[in-house]
Chain A
Amino acid sequence: MSIESVINQSLDRIGYKRHLGNIWDGSPAARIALNAWAETRDALLVRTKPEWARDDIPLEVLKSAPPYYDEQAPWDPDLHPDLPWLYEYAQPDQCLVPLALKPRPHTLPIWRPHAMRFRVKTDSSNYVLLGNDPAPILTCIVHTHDPDVWYEDFTELMIVTLAKKFEVALGHPTGKQQEPKDANDAR
């Protein structure tokens, strides 16, 4: 399934008869779709957190806590993570929503798995993660751009959500809105 076929199904949903040939074709519907596509897709991935969009990514340590600190060796926010965390990691580019941290396994199976605390922080311009493991693995929802990878229920959700945006932007009432409000309107 292509991006255009998802969008065209959304247009069908509101009864708009002109289909897109390409999202870049500059037609009124294409301009609206281009504005809404990436944001809508990512918002739905964040909201639904589908299994097929999950991935495990090893994290890279950016900052680590000093062995100790006192008045002579103070905690330096440029060098050290926020207190009381031991490590600061870069959030991977492909990560959309961090879900959990886990240690890298030395032996398998892991008989006593335990949750690892972590927190997301906004650095000056990037998201970073704070945690206490020297080399953890992040489980997260990753950017999944290819509609061919999506499960059918997510595709359908995308179609419905885009249709709502088209309905407002293209001024096309849905079938429900076209129904008469009362008996007088029906005559």
Chain B
Amino acid sequence: MNASPRSWIAPTQTDIAREALAQIGTRSDITSIADNTVEAKYVTILFDPIRDFLLVDGDYDWSTRWVVPVAYGVPAPPWKYVYPYPPDALRIRQLIPLQFEALDPRPVEWSITGTDVTSTKVVTNVEIGYIYYTAAVDTMFWDAMFRQAFVRMLASALAFALENRIEASKVKLDEALGFAGIAKLRDM
């Protein structure tokens, strides 16, 4: 038995790229996103940035990860604590204080800063117990509505990149934004 809870629908990057190619009506196909065809080359270029954009836009529950951060260094005023930015984070969603009253939750202020050229940091005024963030999760965890939004946005970019079809690209982009709008409201 496969351990994956979504094994029956788990698509790969290649499956999703094929779906996008089908959406723009191209007759060419790819066997893998590394198969050295022009289509595969553009899919490789476009896949991650589009995925990251849609994930950041949507704050989907299934793309949530958390980390227990360790404070280090001294931040610039007015901040009191500095934590490393999680390396796989696309966006910080929430900091949870080390100590808080469950029935009296209070907001935590924070900011993202780069105090040197090599790293980004999270600065805040309270000690932090957890950082919740959006991560670029594998395609097997995507829900069906997000997948449809992604496919259409990828199709929009491929229509322009492969065939210079500006009108088709616009139509697919509009569809993608519509699907993404529904997907992020229907999450959970």
Contacts and interface: CB of A to CB of B under 8 A. Distances in A.
Nearest to B182: A17
Nearest to A35: B107
Interface in B26-42: none
B175 interface: no
A85 interface: no
Contact of B103 (A3, A17, A18, A31): A3
Contacts of B184: 18
B101 A145 contact: yes
Contacts of A17: 185-186
B93 A18 contact: no
A25 interface: yes
B103 A24 contact: no
Given A38-B104, A146-B103, A24 B186 contact: no
B125 interface: no
A16 B187 CA distance: 11
Nearest to A143: B104
B188 A21 contact: yes
Nearest to B103: A145
A113 to B, nearest CB: 35
A168 to B, nearest CB: 17
Given A30-B94, A31-B94, A145-B101, A38 B106 contact: yes
Contacts of A27: 59, 61, 93
B25 interface: no
Contacts of B64: 25-26
A25 B186 contact: no
Contact of A24 (B132, B133, B187): B132
A19 B187 CA distance: 8
A38 B107 CA distance: 9
Nearest to A23: B105
Interface string A28-52: 1011001101100000000000000
Given A24-B96, A30-B94, A31-B94, A18 B105 contact: no
A73 to B, nearest CB: 46
Contacts of A19: 188
Query: 5 tightest CB-CB pairs across the interface, nearest first?
Result: A26-B93, A26-B94, A145-B103, A26-B132, A17-B185
Given A16-B185, A24-B94, A38-B104, 7 more contacts: A3-B105, A18-B188, A25-B93, A26-B64, A26-B93, A27-B61, A31-B93
13 contacts: A18-B185, A18-B187, A25-B132, A26-B59, A26-B64, A26-B92, A26-B93, A27-B59, A27-B61, A28-B59, A35-B107, A143-B104, A147-B103
Interface of B: 59, 61, 64, 92-94, 96, 101, 103-107, 132-133, 184-188
